A and B are shown apart, each in its own frame.
Chain A
Amino acid sequence: MLLLLKIEWLKIKRYPAFWWMLVIVMLTYPSINYMFYNVYTQFTQGKEMTNNIAKMLLGNPFAFPETFHTVAYFSSFFVLLPAILVIMLITNEYNYRTHKQNIIDGWSRKEFMGSKLIDVAIISFVVMVVYMLVALAFGIYADPDNMGRIGEQLHYIPMFYLQTFAQLSIAFLLGYLVKKAFIALGIFLFYYLVIENILVAYFKYKKIAITRFLPFEVSDNILVAPAFSGNFGKDAKEGYELALTLVGEQIIYTCIYTLIIWLICFKVHSKRDLA
């Protein structure tokens, strides 16, 4: 296990795309959150009545402990960036034919797939660390007086990890089965950005409550919209409360989905001809 990790790190650490992904994530996460932070400050900084009401309704979503929730929610929009890397890491093995060579050199089929599982775990971890740093920075910047509450919502860190890992596992499955980076990426993008959104809208319109079981929605619903979204009237409040109560279930379903994805990968790989 440790040896697999070491070998994968040898492959990843000199892969330029990995560092590019990291740089872009490190730029994107603070930027998107800063954008919303700006919107928030503009709403609340004026002296007028409406500004005060806004402040009351919104609280400060970027102060401790809410920052862990808010930053997780906004950052998770950009799972696409690490997904590109995950797809590249598996399709590279096909391109370079190293998926064969690794076996020839002495890995079992199971060890190869295990090493890929570790890849996805590493990327998810790296992305999670960036998210943690950004959340911490916003917490300190937005309201240093709240430092004492830093530990209250730390559970959003593993939840962010789980969501990222689950969605990157879908990207991996596509890359693994399709073998061609651009096609896999195309399918991933098209489904993630278009198809699933259409399905969500359609089922909501038809009032069929199954959207939360769609492949991405199932883990999207682990990180519900930040708390202030529940402060705009009765409906929003109910929606927010309901979403919160479902988080536990969503976590379980996400784990099941992800487990199934990896079982498929391991199973297929144990039999597949490595052409």
Chain B
Amino acid sequence: METVLQLTDVSKAYGAVKALKQVSLTIPKGSVFGILGPNGSGKTTMMSIVLDVLGADTGTYSWFNQSPSSADRKRIGSLLETPNFYHYLSAVDNLKITSAISGRGNDQAIDEVLEIVKLTERKKSKFSAYSLGMKQRLAIAAALLGNPEVLLLDEPTNGLDPVGILEIRELIKRLASKGITIIIASHLLDEVEKICTHVAILKRGNLLTSGPVDEVLSNEDIVEVSAENMDALKSCVGQIPDVLSIKEDNQRLQVHFKAGTAKMEAVNQHCFNHGITLNLLLNKKKSLESKFFELTND
């Protein structure tokens, strides 16, 4: 698979604080790559390094399998941390500067992206007069300008209202279906889970795991069952081979299997054979949230 971005042993320290510790990561072309981590885990630092805003102490990175240069960044639409624009300029004038620097887009493309983020009516207003959500929309418009082949979005739904969040999510899905590579840093797990194909989890500068969402999440299968007689059920499912553990939770049993070994029919059959009729049988994939807490909890 073609690689869009490759990091090799990238480290960065701010004085005594180690923000990134030997992070290595590969982002394949066409993926929607979520970078997760609690506040202060190094997400923004990592993105700043690959955009040449910060210099790495050690390690290297490459875009499109080339040694880093400013030409790479012209191919990447980026939103880093906050919307950064000239306060005294209008949305259109700000995007003209973005366009002139990046070489992406023209006057028509500016109108198009402003339409996508629904700022057309306010396109002549000064940036300083914008609300937080509008500023964020403009930053997204700047990233989208001229259809870059890669989008790098740091907390793209910051400051947006629920409708705005939904719109951005739909937009990202639409762009992803066109084959654009999208890299999203976020602490909103729900957001990442809904749209990402790949995920990396950072904690205090360490990369805990990375890979396709399915692989990262499913090192265990979970089957949720419930019956009238919970004690009998518990002893019954305990006899099923491949069961790793059983947790009782709110009148339900969560039965953990090794990845790929849970067979719903077999569980149902087993219980029935032992005289227990299930009133609930659920194949529960581990949510990204529980995985995230599991990995990032001390």
Contact = CB atoms under 8 A, between A and B. Distances in A.
Interface of A: 3, 6-7, 10-11, 14-16, 92, 95-98, 100-109, 111, 271, 273-275
A273 B52 contact: no
Interface stretch (B87-95, B162-170, B260-268): B87-95
Contact of B84 (A7, A100, A109): A100
Contacts of B97: 7, 10-11
Contact of B103 (A11, A102, A106, A271): A106
B102 interface: yes
Interface of B: 48, 51-55, 69-71, 73-74, 78, 80, 82, 84-89, 93, 96-98, 100-103, 142
A241 B232 CA distance: 113
A102 B98 CA distance: 8
10 contacts: A3-B100, A14-B88, A14-B89, A100-B84, A101-B98, A104-B53, A105-B74, A108-B69, A273-B54, A274-B54
A105 B73 contact: yes
Contact of A98 (B54, B86, B96): B86
Looking at B87, B97, B102, the one whose CB has the most chain A CB atoms below 10 A away is B97
Nearest to A98: B84
Contacts of B82: 97
B52 A109 contact: yes
A69 B38 CA distance: 65
Nearest to A7: B100
Contacts of B78: 104-105
Nearest to A273: B54
A104 B98 CA distance: 10
Given A103-B70, A104-B80, 6 more contacts: A14-B88, A14-B93, A92-B86, A98-B86, A107-B70, A274-B54
Nearest to B74: A106
Contacts of A100: 48, 53, 80, 84
B100 A6 contact: yes
Given A96-B87, A105-B98, A274 B73 contact: no
A102 B101 contact: yes
Contacts of B101: 7, 102, 105-107
The 6 closest A-B pairs by CB, nearest first: A106-B74, A101-B84, A108-B70, A97-B84, A105-B101, A106-B102
B100 A10 contact: yes
A5 B86 CA distance: 17
A111 B55 CA distance: 17
Contact of A10 (B51, B93, B103): B93
B96 A10 contact: yes
A271 B52 CA distance: 10
Given A3-B100, A111-B70, A104 B86 contact: no
